[in-house]
Chain A
Amino acid sequence: MPPPVFPPVFLRAFVSTIVPEATALDDGRWVDVEAVIEGVLQQRPASIRRQLRMFLRLIQWLPLLRYGRRFTSLNPQQCAHFLSCFENHRLLLIRSGFWGVRTLALLGYYGRPEAAELIGYAADRRGWEAVR
């Protein structure tokens, strides 16, 4: 089994910046978040996983230049401010890389049935019969 693409400490800091509600997750639920993300990544080519690891390292270490600390040591406001620079970056490579890891964070959080319930999503295979 290859090591996880998202190191656990980084995973929590990053996902919590993308989805602030994630700060309320307990340890067991973080295991679920990681399992959803890694489950999808396992099916992707090794080259994609390598590129993702490199991009996540960039996010972890680049804040040293600006804040003198790694991403996982920043406060939530600093994390959000730092990531917002990636989102609309003039370089396509940076923008699309950020879009990719942001998508994985959203997958980990909203891909859990419990998160769907929390936001009030309640699709049911019985359809109309379930609501009428």
Chain B
Amino acid sequence: MKRLSYDIVIVGSGAGGGTMAQELSPLCRSKGWKIAVLEKGPKLRDDEFTGREIEMSAALYEENGGFLTAERTMTLAFGRAYGGSTVVYTGTSLPPPQRVIERWNVPGLETEDLHRRVAKFSAENNVHFLPEEEINENNRLFVAGCRRLGYRVEQFPVNVKGCRGSSLCNLGCPNQAKQGTNRVQLPRAESNGVEVVTRCEVESIGERTLRARVTAAQPGEKGEPSAWEPGEYQIDARIIVVCAGAVNSPALLLRSGLGGRLPRLGHGFTVHPALILVAEHERPIENFVGHPKSFYLDQFAEDERFVLETCMYFPFTTAKSLAGFGESHSSFMKAFPRLQMVLLLACDKATAGNRVTTDAEGRPVVHYRFTPEVVRALVRGGITSARIFFAAGAKRVHLPFVRPSAVEASEADRLDEIERRANFLPGGMAVSAAHLQGGCGMGRAPSDSVTDAWGRVHGTDWLYVADASLFPDSVEINPYLTIMALADRVAERIREVTATA
């Protein structure tokens, strides 16, 4: 086993780890400190982003984007690459709602402070509204349907620069237009002297030390080799910052034996369970060109607990999302150029039992059951989506929780009745989630949380968390800017406590 020594080690390179690396990188110059980022996934060369669904999912996602919950009723999608999930998100950039931060009730965590930090990263990541001529028909139909129904549809600010409209954001932008940490924060950190080590999985954390394993690229596998030789490593560090995401961060701390004195470790896990909803129009619409996610509807988030967003997915993901099989399923797939899509997200709440644990080998296990509130939100949101689709001119809509799943335009005035016969069968439809949050929640003391308001793990002065696992409950919007803002706070605290070191 090789032994190395650093001043700061950051585990993970996504929205949390990438931000942390950039914000701590001045210490490399000002203090001569050694900082390393250890990332489990590979760093792909620009020409390896092909936009092909299966090969990119394998290269960029944990378990190809299909990480199954223990109940086998939902799949989780999270990145595993230089840049983490910021390589595979759509770049939608919203600040956390004030109502959410107030509800979190973390002492010292203020909406105003978070919004100031969000503004900083929005400027850094070129967040802006796409111009009218770059909005595709899939998005325009959503806007038209919402407006006809009097809904308050809003445009997403997105963090792209030189977007060509490939629509392939979720497979890693083939034009490097999306301003994730792989394009902005990590290169900046590296230029300041931070080392980013890919293909390096951290196995456990001890008192100011980590054990990690570097693996070689398999033949034919995408990505550059790691900066370190394949093998086992022990790395000593004054400060360790865990930014491995809401599944892997709690799992890493659990297999490191911290569960005994941190009873909330792994708890408070939320995901925004989502359904991909599809409608067919009479004529082809622009759907697989242009930014896929330009508009959203969140007016129902408070009362009905759901948010709708435009989306456009790839053939296999779409096929998986449609209920049933055989001719009825194929008829939607054969209509692909005429399909309009909406992503329905339920605003779930932290619930006892929904949590991250580890198996006998230390691998993460996610336990998640749909509460009656989540089921109601998904059904309500599905029916609302159907109204929007029909208002936009769709001839039929696919609703996975009714049989038969195809609802014709002639039935549009019977949607209330259709809602009453909804049969949401967990395990019988494709519920997925990509907004994974909680597990190392912030709070006051070990009895209610894992870290303090600045990400420091209770009972330590050397271990921090800085990613979505810090959220005490669902953020109810796309989370990446909130993660960056929180990581910025944690970095600020680390700079303060190390100022005299």
Residue contact A17 to B58, C-beta cutoff 8 Å: no
- Interface size of B by CB at 8 A reads 50
Residue contact A17 to B325, C-beta cutoff 8 Å: yes
Given contacts A44-B63, A106-B320, A121-B315, contact A127 B326 (CB under 8 A): no
Residue contact A119 to B315, C-beta cutoff 8 Å: yes
Residue contact A127 to B333, C-beta cutoff 8 Å: no
* Neighbouring B residues of A123 by C-beta, 8 Å: 51, 166-168, 288-289, 314
Is A1 positioned at the interface, with any CB of B under 8 Å from its CB? no
Q: Which residue in B51, B319, B324 is a CB contact (below 8 Å) of A125? A: B51
Q: Which residue in B64, B288, B315, B426 is a CB contact (below 8 Å) of A43? A: B64
Q: How far is the CA of A99 from the CA of B431 in the complex (A)?
A: 11
Residue contact B166 to A126, C-beta cutoff 8 Å: yes
* Neighbouring B residues of A40 by C-beta, 8 Å: 54, 58, 64
26 contacts between A and B (CB under 8 A): A36-B54, A40-B58, A80-B325, A92-B71, A95-B426, A95-B427, A99-B428, A102-B325, A109-B319, A110-B318, A116-B314, A120-B337, A123-B51, A123-B288, A123-B289, A123-B314, A124-B166, A124-B289, A125-B49, A125-B166, A125-B168, A127-B163, A127-B167, A127-B290, A128-B134, A129-B164
Is B492 positioned at the interface, with any CB of A under 8 Å from its CB? no
Residue contact A88 to B316, C-beta cutoff 8 Å: no
Q: Mark B400-427, 1 if CB is under 8 A from A, else 0.
A: 0001000000000000000000000111
Q: How far is the CA of A121 from the CA of B289 in the complex (A)?
A: 10
* Neighbouring A residues of B327 by C-beta, 8 Å: 20
Is A78 positioned at the interface, with any CB of B under 8 Å from its CB? no
Is A131 positioned at the interface, with any CB of B under 8 Å from its CB? yes
Residue contact A113 to B52, C-beta cutoff 8 Å: yes
Which chain A residue shows the least CB distance to B73? A96
Residue contact A18 to B428, C-beta cutoff 8 Å: no
Which chain B residue shows the least CB distance to A120? B337
CB proximity to B under 8 Å, residues A71-126: 80, 83, 87-88, 92, 95-97, 99-100, 102-103, 105-107, 109-111, 113, 115-116, 119-126
* Neighbouring B residues of A106 by C-beta, 8 Å: 316, 319-320
Minimum C-beta distance from A40 to chain B (A): 6
Q: How far is the CA of A124 from the CA of B326 in the complex (A)?
A: 29
Q: Mark B243-285, 1 if CB is under 8 A from A, else 0.
A: 0000000000000000000000000000000000000000010
Residue contact A107 to B54, C-beta cutoff 8 Å: yes
Q: Mark B30-50, 1 if CB is under 8 A from A, else 0.
A: 000000000000000000011
Minimum C-beta distance from B459 to chain A (A): 34
* Neighbouring A residues of B334 by C-beta, 8 Å: 119-120
Is A64 positioned at the interface, with any CB of B under 8 Å from its CB? no
Residue contact A119 to B333, C-beta cutoff 8 Å: yes
CB proximity to A under 8 Å, residues B48-81: 49-54, 58, 63-64, 66, 71-73
Minimum C-beta distance from B364 to chain A (A): 12
Residue contact A115 to B315, C-beta cutoff 8 Å: yes
Q: How far is the CA of A115 from the CA of B314 in the complex (A)?
A: 11
Is B225 positioned at the interface, with any CB of A under 8 Å from its CB? no
* Neighbouring A residues of B448 by C-beta, 8 Å: none
CB proximity to A under 8 Å, residues B369-388: none
Q: How far is the CA of A106 from the CA of B53 in the complex (A)?
A: 13
Which chain B residue shows the least CB distance to A91? B427
CB proximity to B under 8 Å, residues A39-90: 39-40, 43-44, 80, 83, 87-88
Is B156 positioned at the interface, with any CB of A under 8 Å from its CB? no
Q: How far is the CA of A125 from the CA of B333 in the complex (A)?
A: 22
* Neighbouring A residues of B318 by C-beta, 8 Å: 110
Is B98 positioned at the interface, with any CB of A under 8 Å from its CB? no
Q: How far is the CA of A106 from the CA of B321 in the complex (A)?
A: 10
Is B336 positioned at the interface, with any CB of A under 8 Å from its CB? yes
Which chain A residue shows the least CB distance to B427? A96
* Neighbouring B residues of A96 by C-beta, 8 Å: 71-73, 426-428
Residue contact B336 to A119, C-beta cutoff 8 Å: yes
* Neighbouring B residues of A131 by C-beta, 8 Å: 286, 289
* Neighbouring A residues of B175 by C-beta, 8 Å: 125, 127
Is B174 positioned at the interface, with any CB of A under 8 Å from its CB? yes
Is A9 positioned at the interface, with any CB of B under 8 Å from its CB? no
* Neighbouring A residues of B319 by C-beta, 8 Å: 106, 109-110
Is B330 positioned at the interface, with any CB of A under 8 Å from its CB? yes
Q: Mark B11-28, 1 if CB is under 8 A from A, else 0.
A: 000000000000000000
* Neighbouring A residues of B286 by C-beta, 8 Å: 131
